[in-house]
Structure 1
Amino acid sequence: MFSVTTILFYLAAWAFLLHSTLRREDLKEKRLLAFIALGTLAHFLAAFVSIRTETAYQFGFFKVPSLFFAVINLVVLISSIRKPLHNLFLFLLPLSVAAILVSGLEQSVMKTSSQLSLKAISHILLSILAYSLLTIASLQALLLSYQNYQLKHKHLRGVMGLLPPLQTMETLLFELVWAGEILLTLSIITGFLFTESFAEQHLSHKAVFSMISWLIYALLLWGRHTLGWRGAAAIRWTLGGFAALMLAYFGSKLVLEIILGRV
């Protein structure tokens, strides 16, 4: 029921946003954000019902993306109140619907005890927030790349008219990376405190790629501060860090749950 409600609200909001975008009409932001807020609330309830069972939590390969997108939508929703981020929902809402549909197909899942410690809960929450913010940063980097390409080829109409100024887009990108890097740092620290044995818990690859991702983002922020990196360099480093982060979580889960079939 919650999944169907979420999908209906998301599709209605996406159609409304797409219609306004294509017709270049003034967007009724309050109406759009109200639909997305209701959809996001239902999304969190749907994700909780999907992950929680009577005896355990299910953090399977196909289950977690739905929760990630719920958090991402919430972050973008709140940020859209004071920043021009609502156009990101053109990408996020269809992906959210796909994640919800896929989460309902999974039968065999990786389960953890229902009695999670405070350290485990803090690590999970910090990881989800870090992944969510850095996912938004990656989408922002893709939009920035498109904007750079269009400006370079002097295509100033169409979608370009819907995007904020280039400097605003770039500033927002680094704000997202800074926030994501801080949360990723805390996530890694709590991960080391929570994990008893990386080898026995099959977390070695996840730890390695998480550290690689952290290092890439740290170098990006250092380059921005000391060398003034921007434009194409900032986009490449942002997407590189995100690729390593996705390998850290989904890569390890793909191998363990899908390829090796360990549940």
Structure 2
Amino acid sequence: MHPLLPSLAAAALYAGATLYQGLRLARRERPKMSLLALLVVVALFFHGASLFMQLHASPGLTLDFFNASSLIAYSVIVLTLLACMRIPVENLLLIFLPLGCLTVLLAQFLPSGTQNPVDEAPGILVHILLSITAYGLLTMAVFQSLLLLLQDHQLKHKHPSGLIRNFPPLQTMESLLFGFLWAGWVLLSLSLISGWLFVENLFAQHLAHKTILSCFAWVVFAVLLWGRHQLGWRGHKAIRWTLAGFCLLMLAYFGSKLVREFILHV
């Protein structure tokens, strides 16, 4: 089976779920979570089928720039949907569903750069899984921080929009942000440890910048969490540190892939 059909089906369902949720929020109504979840689950099924075929297009994992983007978007949506079962983060789907739609289409239609297949040894797969889950949780954290910033700004200026009116209180939003940060930082720590254990040489030429920037990102998130615990950091300071750590992490992964695959062609 060709990945085109599941890719198009996933994109259409993501777009439909986004439209449904957006229209409900525009009317200041909460979307029916059962219907929204059904649309997202079916979209994830097709997205997963498309990803599986694209990742296994050759021996080993074809984890090029667009496939990696699609895989991380997939993991972010899965994590957000699971989180919705326990905590009020369904508004994040309004951001992540269009991201899923875009990345599944890019992975299908844009040519990939040069990328050697990734070894499918169990240790390497554990490292990849931990890395992608950490990226997913920290992506949720950064968008949560941006929503927190928007909510704080609108409440201070006393003109909250329909979307903001559906948000939990500021204190709850901030607690959710640090919950995502703690979980993401722990998984990032495990990812770095698994890299040391299973990757033959983390400081090889094609991995050195990724490793160094990931370690810098780890330090930034560690300082932020320490500052929260010891100094009570919150608000704009917490948001700035979150964004700084996220930028380093994304530059480590996607920046290196972009340069290697589309500029250096190695």
Normalised to the residue count of structure 1, the TM-score between the two structures is 0.95
Percentage of matched positions with identical amino acids: 43
In the alignment, does 2:124 pair up with 1:112? no
Task: Give the Cα–Cα distance (whole angstroms) in 2 for the partners of residues 23 and 140 of structure 1.
Answer: 22
2:37 alignment counterpart: 33
Task: Give the Cα–Cα distance (whole angstroms) in 2 for the partners of residues 194 and 205 of structure 1.
Answer: 18
2:210 alignment counterpart: 206
Tell me by how many angstroms 1:9 deviates: 1.4
On the 8 A contact 2:138/2:246 being kept in 1, the answer is: yes
Task: Give the Cα–Cα distance (whole angstroms) in 2 for the partners of residues 76 and 107 of structure 1.
Answer: 28
CA deviation vs aligned residue, 1:104-134 (integer Å, no higher than 9, x gap): 2124441325x52221010000000000000
In the alignment, does 2:207 pair up with 1:193? no
Task: Give the Cα–Cα distance (whole angstroms) in 2 for the partners of residues 37 and 124 of structure 1.
Answer: 23
1:184 alignment counterpart: 188
Unaligned runs of 5+ in 2: none
Tell me by how many angstroms 1:51 deviates: 1.3
Task: Give the Cα–Cα distance (whole angstroms) in 2 for the partners of residues 121 and 179 of structure 1.
Answer: 20
Task: Give the Cα–Cα distance (whole angstroms) in 2 for the partners of residues 157 and 198 of structure 1.
Answer: 47
Tell me by how many angstroms 1:96 deviates: 1.1
Q: Which amino acid aligns with 1:40?
A: L
On the 8 A contact 1:59/1:109 being kept in 2, the answer is: no
Task: Give the Cα–Cα distance (whole angstroms) in 1 for the partners of residues 89 and 58 of structure 2.
Answer: 38
Task: Give the Cα–Cα distance (whole angstroms) in 2 for the partners of residues 167 and 174 of structure 1.
Answer: 11
On the 8 A contact 2:27/2:162 being kept in 1, the answer is: no
State the number of aligned residues.
261
Task: Give the Cα–Cα distance (whole angstroms) in 1 for the partners of residues 156 and 226 of structure 2.
Answer: 27
CA deviation vs aligned residue, 1:26-76 (integer Å, no higher than 9, x gap): 421111111111111211111111111242321111211101111110000
Task: Give the Cα–Cα distance (whole angstroms) in 2 for the partners of residues 26 and 59 of structure 1.
Answer: 37
1:167 alignment counterpart: 171
Aligned CA-pair RMSD: 1.3
1:89 alignment counterpart: 93
Unaligned runs of 5+ in 1: none
Tell me by how many angstroms 1:4 deviates: 1.3
Q: What is the correspondence of 1:43-192 to structure 2 with a 5 Å cutoff?
A: 43-104=47-108, 105-113=110-118, 116-192=120-196
Task: Give the Cα–Cα distance (whole angstroms) in 2 for the partners of residues 177 and 107 of structure 1.
Answer: 31
Choose the corresponding residue for 2:235, options 231, 239, 242: 231
Tell me by how many angstroms 1:243 deviates: 0.3
Q: Which amino acid aligns with 1:258?
A: F
On the 8 A contact 2:9/2:46 being kept in 1, the answer is: yes
Task: Give the Cα–Cα distance (whole angstroms) in 2 for the partners of residues 69 and 41 of structure 1.
Answer: 14
Task: Give the Cα–Cα distance (whole angstroms) in 2 for the partners of residues 62 and 144 of structure 1.
Answer: 29
